[in-house]
Amino acid sequence: MSFDNKKFRKALGRFPTGVTVITTKNSNGEKVGVTASSFNSVSIDPALILWSIDKSAYSANDFTNCEYFTVHVLRDDQIELSNRFSRKGYDKFSDVKLLDEAYRAPRLHESAAWFECQSWNVYDGGDHYIIVGEVKDYGFDDVSSSLVFHDGRYAIADIHPTLQCQ
């Protein structure tokens, strides 16, 4: 049996993931951002998270060499923001509201949750880099629902119908 990369990707798509925008500053101090669904917790003590980026991505070098980055878990009403940061070739931050520039990596004004991280390590992961960060600060919104990606399209996470009355 030969390995079919397209079917493998489709099988992976059966696993729902959250949608994040990850931001940093490059060596010139310019803001850099990318949409990623590969975000995952690693450890509580120390507080570590990971995400991965395609080695061929335009911003891969910026993220593998940065000191700090911020992971923003997108709300279910932020599809346009996800689409914006998944594209290349223009200013992704144009007209995007950011918080005070005092943060070590750009911080979006609104998100379901955010994690400001110091780079911990970068690992080779085949055609991707696996980036591990130590969480230095974080926050979340108690009222918003997170954006989900499932079967190649956006979705909304909701309470299972059998649990609605509990």
Position 106 scores a pLDDT of: 93
Q: What is the set of domains in the chain, with CATH numbers?
A: 5-163 (2.30.110.10)
pLDDT of residue 165: 65
3-class secondary structure, 163: helix
pLDDT one-digit tens code per residue, 28-79: 999 999 999 999 999 999 999 999 999 999 999 999 999 999 999 999 999 9
Report if pTM > 0.75.
yes
Q: What is the DSSP string of 109-155?
A: S--SEEEEEEEEEEEEETTEEEEEEEEEEEEE-SSPPBEEEETTEEE
- Judged against a pLDDT cut of 80, whether residue 102 lies above it is answered with no
What average pLDDT is seen over the chain? 93
Q: Cis omega (within 30 of 0) on the bond before 161?
A: no
Tokens coding 69: 């980055």
Q: Is residue 71 within 8 Å of 117, Cβ to Cβ? A: yes
